[in-house]
Each structure stands twice: as structure tokens, then as C-alpha cells.
Amino acid sequence: MTEGNSTAGSFTLPSQQFSVADLVVVVVYFFLNVAVGIWSSCRVNRNTVSGYFLAGRDMAWWPIGASLFASSEGSGLFIGLAGTGAAGGIAVTGFEWNATYALLALAWVFVPVYVSSGIVTMPEYLQRRFGGERIRMYLSGLSLLLSIFTKISTDLYSGALFVQVCLGWDLYLSTVLMLVVTGLYTIAGGLAAVIYTDTLQTLIMVLGAIVLAVKAFNEIGGYSNLEEAYLKAMPSKIVPNTTCHLPRADAMHLFRDPVSGDLPWTGMTFGLSIMATWYWCTDQVIVQRSLSAKSLSHAKAGSVLASYLKMLPLFVIIMPGMISRVLYPDTVACVDPEECARVCGAAVGCSNIAYPKLVVELMPSGLRGLMIAVMMAALMSSLTSIFNSSSTLFTMDIWRKLRPGAGERELLLVGRVVTVVLVALSVVWIPILQSSSGGQLYVYIQAVTSYLAPPVTAVFVLAVFWPRANEQGAFWGLMVGLALGLARMGLELVHPAPRCGVPDRRPWLLADIHYLHFAVLLCAATGTVVVGGSLLTPPPPPARLKDLTWWTLSREPPQPSVDGTSQGLPDGSCSAAPGSQQPSKAEGPPAAALKDATEPPFWARVCGINAVVLMCVNIFCYAYFA
């Protein structure tokens, strides 16, 4: 996709669109960002490992909630959700709303276990729970690969696509510029910089998206006209004797047919829950946010806030994407391969440009600059969090094994070098991504996740809830899961989905088993191997399980303790008033957490009531749009 044909095709010349006001806004915005990064770095001592990697375990609930939301809403998601909305209606909302339950599970179930075990990375938890090195090394390697191929590269591609649509800059120039700014403040500031800048960006992203959504709804005369207008949005050039130019008849339904639907409701309920559990409860990027909380109440409140924010994308990203198809059917909804290649350089389809197109056409000058700054910010925020988390993984899980004697200074240096290496790898990956079908980018992220993540979910869930699970079972479960997942992924690469008007000749495993259904089967297969392998080998010694499973948390307030130790509270539990300081590691004396035992039930109750209200809102929305 050369820079020329993608801009000349459907976009008017950017020079007239991008005014001085826009430029000023972008510059001011970036200046603010760097300032916030520097300010927050000065507040936290970042020359200690806990300061650089866990923000000193001193975060309040609101930056945590905002950061959980921002880390998951990169510019890739903005472009991907709006694009999938334009192509197929609102069903893709399930990917956002399903997160509510996973986020609540994270704060109420997983974080207490992680905090009481005193860990920094997720592989470290499995190592303490099962013993042995191989699971930890395997997981660290898998997370690094997943982040390069599904997170970093897709975010870079979509961010660069946005700049290209709006400014007509060269794809590589804009990408490299963003990487430099992003890398600079990640390397300089560590996690505190990432969390505070996330907060600023989330605020601006949500406000900008709301303004754009209001303008978009005004264009079509309000929400009431959306369904009717969307069902009429067809391109003028079509492929004869096919139906792919027709909008889906079930566009306004969340739950689609389990056999013929593009996002079947069975997969969106079960398969997606497995992927959501992996992403929200066991993925380093996300859990690292919650572990930096001052106390468990803060982690819970952060989860609730993030879940409320996750209810927004339907109205501010997905529906505007559908409106973009209504307003610009010839470009956004093109189906003729030659026409699509002329419009956006991808013969598969141009639904990905739905959101950038809306910004360029509808936003007034000044606000357009703000929106572009926000998209770059979204990109930078997800990149900073991935860079930071990946360098934590490499440093703590891989480097420490190779050099057990490494001092604090060396670890910090290695963390910074890894960030630089990741940046270089991602830049090299861009051309490969650019040539891969842009029209299927979002589906590609979800599909790759559903081939690689379910085994990890199965192992984590069994590790936390089934004390009998042991190292042999878990390791072989992961290996079998990996083999099955890679087999399906290989088939997918060899037999891509057919284009419009081409008969589907893929093997039944691909054509008939949706990737979300495959995730369920894969998780079940892994679980079976873990259970079988664990029952055939000796159980883990009881001493190993202390503080590492849900049933053996030694000082959980709600239940009487299982192993008979005195009742107290896990470090950073709801007992701590949200303002109080906590020891930074779980080994802190148990008595310290009981200093203000009069207040805790209040905060625990506040968090609990909020969670119940949240679930009611979520269920109501599901029922309304089902």
C-alpha cells in the first residue's frame, strides 16, 4: 500500500484539512504528556525495582481504573471496533461487555491470591504454585511473543493508518516518530509514568469520542434512524450474484445464530469468557495495574470503574462506525476488490477506515487535531504499557534465571535495553503487517488470541481453585494446548477466509468450527490433560500451597482460615483504609494490617454494593440489545 494511492483515492488533500489550530493542539498535547510523565516519575522513586516496575505499590483506585481501561483500548481497538461495527453491526460489543465479569473476578478472586503470594509477574505465580522452572519460562516466552505479534504490531499499524488517513504522512515516518516519543518516557519513567499518562489520555479519549459520537448521530437524525439507515447502506459498485454488499439483517442484535452467525452467541458467551479471563485475570499488562494498588479496596474500586468505562464503546465507537458506513458507503463498505484497493490499499475491504474517516470529515478544526492527538495517545498508552510489562517479564523471569547474581542496577538497565529491542522488532514487523490483509486485522487479533490463550486460562483457574493440580499436569496441559492451538493457527494461515464471490473450500475444521468455539474446546482439552496428569502423579505438599490457592489463603477475612493460623488480613486487603500505607511485600507482619480494623467492613461493603449495581447495569444492557 503506497502512500500515494491510499491518500489520493478517497481522501481530499490533507493540507487543506489540517489547519494551524490542529497543529497547535497536537504540539500542546504532546508537551503536556511528556510533562505529566516527568512529574509522575519524580513522585515515585523509580530507581528501585518495586518503584520502576510496580509504581511503588501506591496507586489510588481512579488511576488504576482509568489505566485498566486505557491499556485495553488502544487505537487498534478504536479502529478495529468501529471497523467491525461498520462491517457487521453491534455484536462485537460483546468483546467489551464481557470484560465486566472478568474484571470483577480479577479484583475479588485473583488479586487476593496474587497479593498474598507476593509476586511481581504472572509466570512467577505459577512457579511458586507448582515449583520448577519450565512453566515460568514457557509462559514468559509466550507472553513476549503474543505482545509482539498481536498487540504491538496491530497497534502500530492502526495508529499509522490513522495518521496516514488524516495527515497524508508517510506510514513509516509517523510510526517511527510515535515510537520515539513513547519509548522515551517509558524508559525514563517506569510504571508510574505509564499509569498517570494513561489517566490523562483516557479522559481525553472518552471526551473526544463522545463529541464525535454526538456529531455522527446528528448527521443521521438521531439513534432512532440508525437501524433503518444502516440496513440501506450499500456501495454503488458491487460483485454480481453475491450478497456480501448487503448489511447483515441481524446487525442490531448482540446474540447471533450459533451456527450461521459471524459472532455466534454460544462463542460470545463461553469462548469469549475464556479469552476474557486470560486477558483480564492472567495477563501481565492488566494484572500489573491492579497489583500496584495501595490496598485491596483500591484494586476492587479500580476494577469497578474500568467496567463502567467498558460499557461506553458501543455508543461512542461501534455505533459511530456503523454511521460511518451510512454516510460513506462507497468507501467504508466497498466490496469490489479493485475499488477497495483504490480506496484504502486493501483488496479485502476498507471497514478499518470507518473511524478515521469520520474524524476527518466531521470534526471541526482544532477538535480534529485533538482527536488525532488522542488517537496517537491511545496508541502510545497501549504501547507504553506493553513495553513496560514485557520488559518486566524479561527482566524478572528470564534474565534473573540466566544471571542469578544480578544486582538491582543491572536489572533496571536490562529492563531499559529490552524496551529498545522491542521497539526495533516492532518497526521491522510493520511492512509484514502492512502486506497482510488490513481488512481482517481485528479478527486476526481475536483469532490468534483464541488459539494461544485458552490453555493458559485453564492452568491458572485450576492453579487457583484446585489444590490437587501439580507441576507435571500443568506443564503437559500447556504443551498439549500449545500443539493444538498452533495446528489450528497453521491451518488458518494456509487456508485464509475466501473473498467476496469465491466459494468456501476450507477444511471443515476451519469452515465449521468458529474460532470462539475452538477456544472452548481447547480450554476443555487442556483442563482434561491437567486434571489427568495431576491425578496420575503425586500431589503437591501442603506446605507449598500456603497462600497460593483460594482455599489456602492463610488470612482471608471472610472464611475461617483453612490451615489453622491466626486470623488476620492479607497485605493490602480491604482492611486497609484506602489512604493507609501498606508494607510493599506480603511478608510484612500480619499485625500491621489490623491497625484500623474498625473501618474495613465499610470499604469492603462499598466495593461489593458497587459491583452488584454494575452487574445489574450490564445485564440490563445485554437484555436490551440481545
Q: What is the DSSP letter of 293?
A: B
Name the residue among 549, 454, 475, 464 with its Cα closest to residue 133: 475
pLDDT at 554: 62
Task: Confirm if 354 and 82 have CB atoms less than 8 A apart.
Answer: yes
pLDDT at 597: 24
Q: What is the DSSP letter of 468?
A: T
pTM of the model: 0.78
What is the DSSP code string of 547-602? TTSGGG-TT-SSSPPSS-PPP---TT-TTS-TT----SSTTS-GGGGGTTTTSHHH
Sorted by sequence, the CB contacts under 8 Å of residue 200 that are 6+ apart come out as 32, 33, 36, 377
Distances (CA, A) of 264 to 141, 165, 251, 513: 32, 33, 13, 11
Task: Confirm if 614 and 308 have CB atoms less than 8 A apart.
Answer: yes
Query: CB 435: neighbour CB atoms within 10 A?
Result: 10
Residue 566 CA to chain centroid, in angstroms? 39
Largest CA distance in the chain: 75
pLDDT at 46: 64
Task: Confirm if 314 and 93 have CB atoms less than 8 A apart.
Answer: yes
pLDDT at 355: 87
pLDDT at 280: 92
Residue with cell 477456544: 519
At position 470, the amino acid (one-letter code) is N
pLDDT at 461: 94
pLDDT at 482: 92
At position 282, the amino acid (one-letter code) is T
- What is the Cα–Cα distance from 619 to 294, expressed in whole angstroms? 30
pLDDT at 569: 35
pLDDT at 27: 82
Distance, first Cα to last Cα, the chain? 39
Sorted by sequence, the CB contacts under 8 Å of residue 501 that are 6+ apart come out as 239, 240, 241, 242, 244
- Phi then psi for residue 358, to 5 deg, are -60, -45
- Name the E strands within 194-238: none
pLDDT at 431: 67
Name the residue among 593, 608, 595 with its Cα closest to residue 555: 593
Provide the b/e sequence for 255-271 (b: ≥16 CB within 10 Å): bbeeeebbbbbbbbbeb
- What is the Cα–Cα distance from 117 to 457, expressed in whole angstroms? 19
pLDDT at 12: 38
Beta bridge partners of 615: none
pLDDT at 2: 38
Name the residue among 275, 272, 282, 274 with its Cα closest to residue 113: 282
Residue 207 CA to chain centroid, in angstroms? 20
Q: What is the DSSP letter of 311?
A: T
Tell whether the torsion through CA atoms of 600, 603, 609 and 613 is positive or negative: negative
pLDDT along the chain (626 residues), means of 10: 39 53 82 74 69 68 84 76 85 89 91 84 86 85 79 76 70 73 65 67 79 90 87 82 79 83 86 92 84 84 90 89 89 80 70 84 82 73 75 82 84 85 76 57 79 92 92 93 90 75 78 89 96 93 85 56 35 35 32 32 86 91 85
Angle of helix 122-130 versus helix 454-465 axis, rounded to 10: 50
Q: In the structure grid, which three cell numbers stand for residue 235, read together?
A: 456501495
- What is the Cα–Cα distance from 354 to 51, expressed in whole angstroms? 41
Sorted by sequence, the CB contacts under 8 Å of residue 529 that are 6+ apart come out as 473, 476, 477, 480, 481
pLDDT at 4: 38
